[in-house]
Each structure stands twice: as C-alpha cells, then as structure tokens.
A = this chain, B = another copy of it.
Amino acid sequence: MREATVGIVKPKRLTFAAHPDQLVLESGLKLGPISLQYETYGELNDERSNAILVFHALSGDAHAAGYHKEGDEKPGWWDNAIGPGKAFDTDRYFVICSNIIGGCKGSTGPSSENPKTRKPYGLQFPMITVKDMVNAQAALLDHLEVGQLLATVGGSMGGFQALQFAVSYPNRCKLVIPIATAGRQSAQNIAFNEIGRQAIMADPHWNGGDYYAGEAPVDGLSIARMVGHVTYLSDETLMKRFGRKAKTGTCTNGGLSLQPYFEVESYLRHKGNSFTRRFDANSYLYITRAIDLFDLAPGCDSLSSAFRDCRSRFLALSFSSDWLYPPYQSEELVEGIQQSGLAVEYHRIESSYGHDAFLLEADKVEEVISRFLIHEGRKKYFEVDQGYPIS
C-alpha cells in the first residue's frame, strides 16, 4: 500500500482578481490578475466535505504528489504522505495543493509579467504576507466550490499558512495540522533569512531585482540556499552522512584549497547550485520576508489571542532534532491554543533528521495523522454560523 501513488497528475491554473477586482493585500496595495498553479488528488465527495488543503514550505510548489509524466525521476514533494492508503489517503480525501503568490512555480510572483509594464515585476511586485497567501488560496477554494475544508496541513512555512487560514477563516476549516512550525518567526530564523537576502542582494547580477533579461544572481541565491539547507538538517545527520570525509582526489598542493575539500562542502555547493536552476531570487527575497513578518499575535506574549474566533481542532507535530522550528516553539503554539479553549493534540516525534523530518518521517506520523483525520473528522465540532457563500 505504501508504494501506492496518485499516478500521473495534471497541474491546473486558476486566474482571477483581474482589474477592477484585484486582491487587496495586507499592505493595502492591490494585486491582479493573479494566477494560482495548483494540483488536486482524489475525488471531492458529494457532500463536498472531504477536502484537505496542503500548504507548501519556502521552496515548495503545487506538485505535492504523483508524477507529471511517465519516467519522471521524482514524485511530488510530499508523495510519501499523500496517496492511496497514506496519511492523506486519496481514496478518502480530496487533496489540494497550490503554489503560493510570490512564488515562481506557476503562481503570480515577482518573475511574472507586470500588467502595467508588460515586463517582469521584479521589485515592483508588492510585498506579500502569509495572510495574503491564504487569502489567494481561499479564492481557489471558492472556485473549486469547497466551502469548508475537512483539514489544512503544512510544515514549516506551510504550517504558518495552515495556522493563518484557521485564524483568517474561522468557519472554513474543521481540522488544522501544523507541523514543525511556530506561531511566530523567531529572531534567529529572521537572522538566517536575512543572511540569505544579503547574499542575493550583494550579487552584482541581482541588479536591484531587475535581472530577468540577463544573467540571474545565481551565486547569491546559491549561498542563500546553502544557509537555508544547513538549518534544515541536523548536526547529527551531517555527521552521520558526511562526517569529515574528504573528497577523493582532492589535493591542496600546499596552497589554500578553494575547491571543496570535505564531502559536506561539495554536497552544499551542489544543493546551492541546483536550487538556482529551479528558483527565482526575487521570490526568495519576498517569501523569506513574508516568513519573517509572520506573527499570529503581534505584541502579545501568548499566542492565545490569535485563536479568539477560531473553532478548529488542532494536531501539532514537532521533531526532536529540529533546531529551525524546535519543539519548544510548537509547544508555545499548543499552549496558546489550549489557553484559548480549543482542542489540540500534540506529539513531539523522535527524529535525527532536523527540520527536514517533516518531509522525511512520513512513516512515523502516518498513523497519528490518519487517526486524527478519521476520528476527529467525524465529530461535529461547530455548526457553521452561516453557510459559507460559494461563488
């Protein structure tokens, strides 16, 4: 059953918010038209009550499960969790995943055409926030005629969106599964993101964000990704996987060796370089800024005030070796949810994989997620005050 797959999937695209109905952003600026690239897996039931919205993390996209064509080397980024018989069982649920606005994987972002200039937005793209991301996805749900979701789920920045959606749309989501995430971005994580941004902006090819007609700032983006990548792993994983192994054939001939000397260096450079072939540097700037701005309860110590209007039930998961969004941050979130009187189940999963555990430990969380979706999904926690208007 674990080998099951949703098979070949066809990416879809929704375009909406054309002039004069642009999306009003949190900043007050308007964005439109907006395209959202998305994919769906499984079937929406007749009651339209089995939809699950999956939110992706910083470098993710709409391709969460299955393959785009025969022979694809890799499936979608969460294929081990989404599919027949898996945690998000596509025999039971209708699973939706959409690329965020600000992104570069088919949704409108800084590399998209600015309708005013007919050129890529670059830095003319407005600042977007996690709230804006979920507002755009709510429009996608309207289009799909999904009033109320059975569940939202996401890891890392995907967890930010899952939480924000529950807070912004208290009537639209029964269950919320925030994984390896937090109720607000920490100072240390802002610091790491800022280093990445500085590296991109220090690259002369970045050119104030206006590089689409020429060479991209690949050196800067690669360094930004290397910083990010180290924070996704753990000390233990790096030591087990690479340790102090030197590259074969490396020779320093007594001078400074500028070539990778240790395997971990070569690995990092490879990760950095390959990222530049699939990601836009300006998107990296905008999305990391949105991440840093995320705070469910600005100015409040406790996160509880954020959940005042919320009536969802929560399943929060953290991983022991995650030092980017460490367990204590999930625990602060859980405390805030509890203080607001809402139900929350919490598991701190033992794992040595660091933050990446949220992608890699699908086996360990499958049972707890399946059970939560089935048992809690059956209950009627709240009546929807007013039937949510379907557009």
Contacts and interface: CB of A to CB of B under 8 A. Distances in A.
Contacts of A219: 198, 202
A345 to B, nearest CB: 26
A216 to B, nearest CB: 13
A36 interface: no
Interface residues of A, number: 66
Contacts of A14: none
Copies per complex of this chain: 2
Interface stretch (A49-57, A80-88, A143-151, A189-197): A189-197
Contacts of A188: 230, 233-235, 238-239
Interface in A103-148: 123-127
Given A254-B127, A255-B127, A256-B127, A198 B226 contact: yes
Contact of A254 (B29, B254, B272, B289): B29
Given A187-B244, A188-B230, A268-B191, A285 B262 contact: no
A269 B241 CA distance: 33
A248 to B, nearest CB: 15
16 contacts: A27-B252, A126-B255, A185-B244, A187-B239, A188-B233, A188-B235, A194-B226, A195-B227, A195-B230, A198-B222, A198-B226, A204-B204, A227-B227, A235-B323, A256-B286, A256-B289
